[in-house]
């Protein structure tokens, strides 16, 4: 639980678990049973899993048979990218499909999977660079498909639904249609998008969501895989989840995930309206405080389609993002400089660099993300703490520069 003086503005890293999810998980944890067992308790656990699968499928607009339960977004992305590459590398037509088409702003769960395939298996990559707002345009994506030998040698294409750092929402259905026209499986990480913008994973071949970004439990997520998709599994054992993800199913976690996914889908529109008002208030307040602050990504007041409603990404001149983070944290404001999965890594965001932001500007990044429970009081507290943090961070930056 947050302390009474804490303001939590890092919902993109993880968000508080919904009360109804806690109740579902606690109730299910009191029931014994392995969903792979054939006796009564096992069948009851299986019933919970399959009913949860149906709820998740309905919310994501896919078939229940296409829902694969995993430990979260990272595992799902790994299965989708590595497994599909392995499945399609040597096709029955004799073609070698050793190329991946991937946006330059992906989460590291995708980027590091791609880099592994390059190092360990000689894969080739065509990077699709975004525009200055972080948008992957259909034109750029189509050009990448046609590059380096053409679409016939592409094993899989991947573009995230919405960026986890700067909040730009991608035209995923249109990009997926371009890939499908060439018979190329299209994968999209929708971890940040679900609950904030409409998400229809039937438009992609492989989709990814996770529980802890939408008020669900940590450690449980979903890979949606079309019935014609057969990635090579990364783990082997009991053959659970279409033999794509062996291991004893986390029945309580899955039940809690289903509750959170259903809640996210049902309340998406009203949630987006609420968050966008707070987001715009935060951005406009920050810009009024300091005219050297810049907003990263796409933004126009009231927009709930081009940018995630709960995402604010600011670049501050003559500051280090880490300094701002620690100073704000000391003032009771929890935020981040970028993806929590790369916390502590002292280098500029690959997302900002891909967008063409100079490295000297990229180091001054600050990400503030809103979620359920966020209020105008949180925004006001951040804006009240910002001027002093900016002053001290700039003094520290100037002092460090003078010593160089």
* pLDDT above 80 (res 347): no
**The pLDDT value given to residue 309:** 98
Give the other-Cβ count within 10 Å of 224's Cβ. 27
DSSP annotation of 80 reads: I
- Please give the average per-residue pLDDT across 68-95, as a whole number: 94
Confidence of residue 1 (pLDDT cuts 50, 70, 90): very low
List the single range of 89-93, 233-237, 288-292, 384-388 with lowest mean pLDDT.
89-93
Interatomic CA distance for residues 50 and 166, integer angstroms? 36
Confidence of residue 399 (pLDDT cuts 50, 70, 90): confident
Strands 206-210 and 186-189: parallel
Asked if 127 contacts 140 with a C-beta cutoff of 8 angstroms, the reply is no
Instruction: List residues with catalytic annotation.
Output: 341
Interatomic CA distance for residues 193 and 13, integer angstroms? 13
Alpha helices (H) along 129-247 = 138-146, 172-180
**The pLDDT value given to residue 343:** 52
Confidence of residue 105 (pLDDT cuts 50, 70, 90): very high
Interatomic CA distance for residues 335 and 215, integer angstroms? 18
* pLDDT above 70 (res 4): no
List the single range of 174-178, 280-284, 307-311, 357-361 with lowest mean pLDDT.
357-361
Interatomic CA distance for residues 49 and 46, integer angstroms? 5
Tens-place pLDDT, residues 187-243: 999 999 999 999 999 999 999 999 999 999 999 999 999 999 999 999 999 999 999
**The pLDDT value given to residue 339:** 54
* pLDDT above 90 (res 178): yes
**The pLDDT value given to residue 9:** 98
- Please give the average per-residue pLDDT across 334-340, as a whole number: 78
- 0.85 exceeded by the pTM? yes
Domains, the chain, ranges and CATH?
Answer: 7-16+268-403 (3.90.1150.10), 19-266 (3.40.640.10)
Confidence of residue 400 (pLDDT cuts 50, 70, 90): confident
Interatomic CA distance for residues 363 and 341, integer angstroms? 17
């Amino acid at each position: 639980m947050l302390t009474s003086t804490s303001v939590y503005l890092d919902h993109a890293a993880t968000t508080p678990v919904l009360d109804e999810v806690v109740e579902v998980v606690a109730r299910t944890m009191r029931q014994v049973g392995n969903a792979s067992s054939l006796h009564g308790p096992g069948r009851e656990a299986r019933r919970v899993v399959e009913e949860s699968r149906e709820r998740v499928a309905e919310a994501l607009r896919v078939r229940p048979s296409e829902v694969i339960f995993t430990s979260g977004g990272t595992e799902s992305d790994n299965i989708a990218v590595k497994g599909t590459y392995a499945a399609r590398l040597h096709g029955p037509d004799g073609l070698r499909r050793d190329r991946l088409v991937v946006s330059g702003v992906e989460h590291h769960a995708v980027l590091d999977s791609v880099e592994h395939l390059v190092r360990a298996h000689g894969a080739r990559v065509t990077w699709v660079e975004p525009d200055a707002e972080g948008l992957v345009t259909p034109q750029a994506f189509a050009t990448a498909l046609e590059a380096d030998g053409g679409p016939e040698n592409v094993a899989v294409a991947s573009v995230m639904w919405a960026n986890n750092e700067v909040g730009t929402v991608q035209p995923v259905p249109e990009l997926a249609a371009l890939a499908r026209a060439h018979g190329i499986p299209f994968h999209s990480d929708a971890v940040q998008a679900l609950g904030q913008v409409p998400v229809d994973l039937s438009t992609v071949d492989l989709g990814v969501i996770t529980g802890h970004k939408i008020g669900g439990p940590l450690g449980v997520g979903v890979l949606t895989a079309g019935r014609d998709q057969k990635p090579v599994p990364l783990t082997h054992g009991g053959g659970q989840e279409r033999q794509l993800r062996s291991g004893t199913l986390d029945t309580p976690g899955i039940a809690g995930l289903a509750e959170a996914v259903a809640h996210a889908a049902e309340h998406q529109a009203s949630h987006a309206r609420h968050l966008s008002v707070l987001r715009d208030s935060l951005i406009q307040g920050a810009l009024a405080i300091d005219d050297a602050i810049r907003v990263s990504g796409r933004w126009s007041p009231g927009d709930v389609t081009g940018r995630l409603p709960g995402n604010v990404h600011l670049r501050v001149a003559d500051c280090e993002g880490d300094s701002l983070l620690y100073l704000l944290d000391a003032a009771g404001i929890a935020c981040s400089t970028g993806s929590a999965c790369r916390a502590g890594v002292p280098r500029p965001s690959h997302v900002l660099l891909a967008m063409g932001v100079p490295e000297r500007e990229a180091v001054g990044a600050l990400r503030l993300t809103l979620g359920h429970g966020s209020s105008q009081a949180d925004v006001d507290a951040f804006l009240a703490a910002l001027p002093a943090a900016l002053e001290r961070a700039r003094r520290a930056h100037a002092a460090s520069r003078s010593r160089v």
